[in-house]
Structure 1
């Protein structure tokens, strides 16, 4: 592997990635440092659900395609017939690994067994696998692992340890099996542990074992899985979704990015390139390369890694838009990769979505996400700046007065999806004013739409106006208003960065005589249960101009709150014109 430059924080022994209560030990601390420096990985969801593509017997599901068996309650014997049409005829391990390399991805995780219980490798534990049941009839994982290693891409497996809809003793299938007769230890002993043994023993050195949805497994059962991994592949990292605090690094929710720097632990955001994880025929909601690059920058600047998913078809074809998007990301990474790989988190608090930063020894990289001027001003920097340059362009002029640096840019607006300014500093470590540090608790906080997770695939963000639009009423498409159907909601993830009682207001626009609807802002706990809620009507005006409404009651936000949510409790006639600019929070207590 290339020797990534260690940042100042690591050299000083102050790296944030070992401060958590997770399980990283002396054996895999080196692996965790290596993982931290890689920053960007490829996730692959591939299974017999890829054949269905979100549709079964002429009926389509709303939401993510790999859950089709569960959402439609398809009996195992019927669902298993999808394997007959899984040909894999266009699968190429070399092409997949090369696509990851072209995108600048440094590690890879692929589904060895998803919740449907179907093994995507040659399992001797159960014949419910790709070799025994599909038209393809081969194990694709040996070649993929080898091709990844040729390119210095760390290889790892996803494994669903609790949910298995093909096994009566696992969790999840209550349409074929009687949940009251479930014996999870039988499933752990007879399927989960033996299959973990197989993927650990048969595919060379692994970088990660990526567990998912720990669900009802006891700490003892989760520990047995962890012990097996550490016995057979001690260098393989384990994510926190093993449950019970037994992971080596923290996993955020899907597509869930912390609002601010999340210090004292290593973490990762698993995310989609469109909406679904598995291939879905009608999912054409491809994310713009600009948006994905901005999210990569956002995540890395806050101390995380970005695991970005592709969903190949049952024939092994990676959808063309995925390839185009990833190659465009790779083009940007060739120019700006030094500001991503091997960097540390930004020390600054982010008040908006205009810029982010990363650091290395003696360097501060400023990533411009939005820029409408020919100058960029950075306040609160205590270091003396020795030079400034725009990556991929060259030297920049700048002025430094006290703690403010003003940099002259080559043009008004951005030259690329994200422009990166490198500031060379007189000191090895970045020093900033205390009132600019990411740990501050401002009295006024703006939650911009881009910083949220978009639950609905239809919702879009406009960088020029800094607004989110295309809120829809899914009942008009024939779907029930429930979480599984991914309504038009914005979810922000404070991860402890917001604490106190806050007055809430929303800045928005909509055109018409009536209402966009009854808007609701609520706090949710980790299990998505409601904690607090405020709601109000959102009237429109004929001009469609911006306006702000304030909720009448304050709301409490503390560390127990996993999500802050904006949605509509009821829809109005002018919903289609609604644009959300930001949710404002004003702290009422000190």
Structure 2
């Protein structure tokens, strides 16, 4: 996957989502669903598989534990080519059972699989005529690993996609290496590598195995427009294929691919969050930091509630078996999906900006009414679930797990669902709520807390873009930030309620590689702040630009905009207002 500093990185887990501190600097996406992509948007859930020779060292080289991602060990430990290639002599996955893999994916509720046909180490899991560095010619196993998986997927009705590292290749001469080569045997012409290895291999994987559902490029180091353009006629050989946004050369693709995080408010267009179960993509014996089944289930819900797909990774052992923690988590997810998959498949994003007890997905019915699937994490103790701001008439409500009918009521402009004393599922209990018409939700406005503070989270903001420009985005989970602020003409604003008049101190935190200037405005007051160069988009520095005065209780607005002719991207965390006295 991606190298830290290239785009996103190996991120730390939050409770139900993952935090990103990255700023994307490529041009905006213009992705529109078509008949070709319709199946994908309904699917919502897929399996990512990272497998290769890197499973032999499995994170250890010369008796040292190598930090970082398992599949990056050759790069991170600067292993010479001859030494690394010798690992292939031990790669003999005699327990590989692709039918079992597909059955586990199906049982977990996954609708498609994407496997690494060739990762950055250049090792191909298929029989390739373009390079002898492949499973057939370089290992004692001596058989194509992709064909039997393609056959198993076809037999069981599972869609199959291929990951292919088109630019980074650390063993075939001329292939790129993020950060540069470390072995003279890697040197060569990148154009020759593209023409003689990458292009022929992509043609092989797109012509040998039948229909390919998705093509997953990765890390476009050195990919110019001219190099990227060479791949497009080959991709066109699969007219129904879906591609991601990582080919390079300004090729947009169909999917935006957040890595290891779930965008706080979703993304316009088609997007797919890819995520690991522990901290690495490829098998690593020293990584035991497994996310809980509950976290993974809630990540799937979170992604679906924001209109994206969840591509959850497994890293098989060199034998071909899935590690037991993966098997256990797939089984737990499958048990939840067996009961609740209706609330995930073929759903659209939540109409609510904030739900304190969980998340929601939506299905628009043919008769004009709407089904809301309420995924409740925090079960109400008073027997009443408040669906904040929902104005529609409720037609019916029931527990999805057992069909038990529930009653509803309305008070103070909020709809309430009367629920049993206890939740039926500790991961997420789903209530199926049918309402009349399209959702009519009163916009959420944050209100002053009892301690006097007002927290303006990025996820609460309204994002504004100039005509033809690109809006910034709310990112992250528990620690949100406004990111992707690459257009100086874009801005954000918050409405909020002040209960006690007075002067309020303004605090936030910002991160920028090169430094820039920002402006905060409320009414006739303006605060300007210099953002120092922090050395990275994940390195935040506290800002205290000044104070705002609110003369009476009521609803106010604060806006955030750029304030410089020379704009540099910046990430901004939540804005906190607190009484100055």
Name the TM tier (shorter chain): 0.7 to 0.9
Q: Does 1:296 align with 2:300?
A: yes
What are the within-5 Å matches in structure 2 for residues 507-526 of structure 1?
522-523=511-512
Match of 1:175? 182
Q: CA deviation at 1:88?
A: 0.3
TM alignment of 1:53-452, pairs within 5 A: 53-172=58-177, 174-177=181-184, 182-230=188-236, 232-263=237-268, 265-350=269-354, 354-361=357-364, 362-373=370-381, 374-393=383-402, 394-401=404-411, 403-412=413-422, 415-427=425-437, 429-435=438-444, 444-446=455-457
Q: 2 CA distance for matches of 1:252 and 1:495?
A: 14
Contact residue 265 and residue 475 of structure 2 kept, 8 A: no
Q: For residues 24-80 of structure 1, give each alpha carbon's deviation from its aligned partner in whole angstroms, at most 9, with x where no partner exists.
A: 6xxx82221110000000000000001111111211112211000000000111100
Q: Does 1:586 align with 2:576?
A: yes
Q: Is the 8 A contact 2:377 2:426 kept in 1?
A: no
Q: Is the 8 A contact 2:81 2:171 kept in 1?
A: yes
CA distance in 1, matches of 2:362, 2:513: 33
Q: Distance in 1 between matches of 2:61 and 2:29?
A: 44
RMSD, aligned CA: 3.2
CA contact (8 A) 2:49 2:313 kept: yes
SS of the aligned residue for 2:170 comes to coil
- Does the 8 A contact of 2:258 with 2:272 survive in 1? no
Distance 2:272 2:194 in 1: 26
Q: Is the 8 A contact 2:458 2:574 kept in 1?
A: yes
| Whole-Å separation in 2 of the counterparts to 1:447 and 1:359 | 23
Task: Evaluate the alpha carbon distance shift between residue 268 and residue 123 of structure 1 in structure 2; reply closer, same or farther with a 3 A threshold.
Answer: same
Quick check: 185-194 or 367-376, which moved more?
367-376
- Partners in 2 of 1:49 and 1:132 — Cα distance? 17
Show the counterpart of 2:529. none
Q: How many correspondences in the alignment?
A: 473
1:78-136 alpha-carbon deviations (Å, 9 max, x no partner)? 10011111110110001100110010000000000000011111111110000111121
| 1:168 CA drift (Å) | 2.9
| Distance in 1 separating the partners of 2:423 and 2:560 | 39
Deviations 1:460-512 (A, max 9, x none): xxxxxxx8xxxxxxxxxxxxxxxxxxxxxx6757557983799446xxxxxxx
Corresponding position: 1:499 with 2:492: yes
Instruction: From the superposition, tell whether residues 453 and 116 of structure 1 become closer, same or farther in structure 2 (CA, over 3 Å).
Output: farther
Q: Which residue of 1 aligns with 2:470?
A: none
Matched, 1:530 2:530: no
Tell me the distance in 2 between the aligned counterparts of 1:561 and 1:391. Answer: 45
Give the drift of 1:444.
Answer: 3.3
8 Å contact kept, 2:91–2:139:
yes
Cα distance in 1 for residues equivalent to 2:193 and 2:476 = 34
Paired residue secondary structure (2:288): coil
Instruction: State the shift of 1:385 in Å.
Output: 0.8
CA spacing shift, 1:146–1:430, aligned 2, 3 Å: farther
Cα pair 1:259 1:494 within 8 Å, conserved: no
- Partners of 1:112 and 1:119 within 8 A in 2: yes
Report how far residue 379 of structure 1 moved. Answer: 1.9
**Contact conserved, 1:23 with 1:246, CA < 8 A, in 2?**
no
Instruction: Output aligned runs, 1:536-551, within 5 Å.
Output: none
Between 272-281 and 141-150, report the one with greater CA deviation.
Answer: 141-150
After superposition, what is the alpha-carbon deviation per residue over 1:381-404, rounded to whole angstroms, capped at 9, x for unaligned? 232110111210321222124641
In the superposition, the TM-score normalised over structure 1's length comes to 0.73
Secondary structure, aligned partner of 1:83: helix
Indicate if the aligned counterparts of 1:371 and 1:414 stay in contact, CA closer than 8 A: no
Compare 201-210 and 378-387 and name the one that shifted more: 378-387
Q: How far has the Cα of 1:169 moved from its partner?
A: 1.4
Q: Which structure has the highest helix share of the two?
A: 1
Asked whether the equivalents of residues 355 and 366 of structure 1 are also in contact (C-alpha less than 8 Å), the reply is yes
The answer (yes or no) to whether the contact 2:481–2:574 under 8 Å persists in 1 is: no
Bigger mean CA deviation after superposition, 299-308 or 400-409: 400-409
Contact 1:273–1:309 (CA under 8 A) maintained in structure 2? yes
Q: Secondary structure of the residue that 1:30 maps to in structure 2?
A: coil
**CA distance in 1: counterparts of 2:568 and 2:109, whole angstroms:** 36
Q: Helix, strand or coil: the match of 1:250?
A: coil
